[in-house]
Amino acid sequence: MTKLRVDISQVNSFIGNQNWLAVQDEMHEYHRQLITHSGHGNDYLGWLNLPAELDNTLLERIKADAEKIRQMAELFVVIGIGGSYLGSKAVIEALGNPFEDLMGGSDYPYVVFAGENLSGSYHTHLMALLDKKEYAVAVISKSGITTEPAIAFRLIRQHIEAKYGKAEARKRIFAITDASRGALKKLSDTEGYSSYVIPDDVGGRYSVLTPVGLLPIAVAGFDVEALVNGAMNMRETALHSSDFNQNPCTHYAAARNLLYRSGKFVEILVAFEPGMQYMIEWWKQLFGESEGKERKGIFPAGVIFTCDLHSMGQYIQDGMRLLFETVISVGETSTPLVVPHDPENLDGLNFLSGMRLSEINRQAELGTMLAHVDGGVPNIKIIIPSINEYNLGQLIYFFEFACALSGYALGVNPFDQPGVEAYKKNMFALLGKPGFEKETASLRAKLSKP
C-alpha cells in the first residue's frame, strides 16, 4: 500500500481553486507524456521501471558483495560526485545512528565518501584514516570521466595498492560505471575489478536504485530489498493512477508549479529529523539539476528544523515573500524518550514532564507551519509513516516521478544538465588541459583586467 501522502491544504489559499482545477488537465497530459515516453529526454526514462525490473540475481549479487566487503573491511570508501554519491549518503544517514562510530562501530563497515570535492585537506585526512583501517572501495561514475572522483580514485588506488599489494587491492575495488564507455570502464576491464553497470537510460541523479546506491546501502547494513519494494509500490501508484486526486506525484508537481507561477520562486524542503539532512541534499540535486535551465526553475533550498528556525527561521517568517515550504512530516519515530521531571523546575519546563520528545517535535512542526503560513509562506506537506527502508524507497520514487512531471510543467528537459559543463571548461582551461589553449588565453585576459 502507498503510505506516503501529500497534503496541500495550506496551499489552496495561495493558488486559488480555479487554478487548481485548471492545472489538473495539464498534469494529466504531462503524466501521459511521461508514461508513454513521448516527452523531453525520453531516452533517459530507465528509472521509471527500475524497481520493477531489478532482477533478483542483481540484488543477490549486491548482497553477496556487501557481505564480502563486510568480512574484509572496517571502512567502505565510496568515490563519486552528484548522483553517484548523494542517494546512498541520503539513505545511509537517514537510517543510521549518527554516533555509531563513537560508540565503537557496528557490525557493518562505516561508509565514507570521497571525490565529491577537490579539497586537499579532506582527502589528506581521509588517506591518514585509510593508513589505519582495513578498507574496500567503490568507485562510481556513470560517465567514467568526471574529474573529482577520478582524482580521488588515483589517490586511493595508489594507497590501496601500496597497502595491500596489487592482487589483493583488485579484490577490494568495485567499479560502478557505464556498460561500455569511459576511462573507468577501460581501467576496470584492464585491472579486472568486480564491476556493476549503470544502465544507459538512467541519469546520475536518478540512479539511487541501481548498484550506485544499492551497493553502499547494503554494505552499511540496510535492507535494500525493502527499499526497492517501497519504490516499487510507489511506482504502481505513480504510473497507474491517472486520477489526479489519487496520485501524490501529480499533486506535488501541480502545487509547486502553481506556486512558482504565482511568484514563489524558492522551495525550501524542511525536515524535523536531522538524519534527513542528506535526503534534502539529494532532493536539491534532483530538482535543481533537473529544473534549473533556460533561465527558469524553482530554486531548491533546504533546512533542518528546529535547528534552522534559529537562523533561517527569521528570513522564512519575515523576509522577502518568494518562498514556499515543503515539509517531510514523519508520522512516528521509534524513540520513547521523554522529558524528565525536575522538582526544582528552574527552567519552567515541568509542563512538559513525561512528554515524548517526538510529540514536542510534532507540536513544533505544527506551530511552525501555522506561523509560516500566516507569514505568507505556503506549505506543502509530504507525510511518511516512519523512517525505514520501505518508506524511503517510496519517498525516493515519489520525488523522482514528481520531478519529471514538474520539469515537463516548466517546459524543460528534466534529464539533461548542460549548465554543469561551463565550470568544467573554465577549470580545465585554467589548469592548462591540452586542447583548451584558446579558452586559457581568453580567461587569463579576463582575469588580468583591472
Q: How far is the CB of 210 from ligand PA5 (least distance, A)?
A: 11
310 is catalytic: yes
Q: How far apart are CA 157 and CA 115, in angstroms?
A: 12
x/- contact string, 405-424, with ligand PA5 (CB under 6 A)? ------------x-------
Interface pick for ligand PA5 out of 84, 333, 379, 394 (rule CB under 6 A): 84
Cell numbers that stand for 290 in this block: 533537473
Residue 306 preceded by cis peptide, ω within 30: yes
| 163 alpha-carbon distance from chain centroid | 33
424 is catalytic: yes
Interface pick for ligand PA5 out of 79, 81, 137, 160 (rule CB under 6 A): 81
- End-to-end C-alpha distance for the chain, whole angstroms: 63
439 is catalytic: no
Q: Based on CB atoms, which residue is closest to ligand PA5, 146 or 247?
A: 146
Residues 284-303 contacting ligand PA5, CB under 6 A: 289
300: phi then psi, degrees, rounded to nearest 5: -90, 125
- Helix boundaries (H) for 36-119: 50-53, 56-72, 86-95
Q: How far apart are CA 73 and CA 93, in angstroms?
A: 19
Q: Which stretch binds ligand PA5 (CB under 6 A): 58-66, 129-137, 201-209, 304-312?
A: 201-209
Q: Based on CB atoms, which residue is closest to ligand PA5, 83 or 378?
A: 83
Residues 98-157 contacting ligand PA5, CB under 6 A: 141-143, 146, 149
Check 37, 186, 424, 425 and give the catalytic one: 424
Q: How far is the CB of 204 from ligand PA5 (least distance, A)?
A: 2
Over the range 275-293, which residues count as b (16 or more CB within 10 Å of their CB) and which as e? bbbbbbbbbbbbbbbbbbb
Q: Which stretch binds ligand PA5 (CB under 6 A): 9-17, 103-111, 199-207, 309-317?
A: 199-207
234: phi then psi, degrees, rounded to nearest 5: -65, -35
Check 26, 225, 289, 325 and give the catalytic one: 289
Q: Based on CB atoms, which residue is closest to ligand PA5, 149 or 211?
A: 149
Q: Which stretch binds ligand PA5 (CB under 6 A): 16-24, 79-87, 217-225, 308-316?
A: 79-87
Name residues whose C-beta falls within 8 Å of residue 99's C-beta, 6 or more positions apart in sequence. none
If one asks whether residue 89 binds ligand PA5 (CB under 6 A), the answer comes out as no
Residues 206-225 contacting ligand PA5, CB under 6 A: none
Count of alpha carbons within 13 angstroms of residue 68, beta-carbon side: 14
Q: How many CB atoms lie within 10 A of CB 151?
A: 15
Please report, as ranges, the residues that interact with ligand PA5 according to CB under 6 A.
Answer: 81-84, 141-143, 146, 149, 203-205, 289, 417
Residues annotated catalytic, as ranges: 289, 310, 424
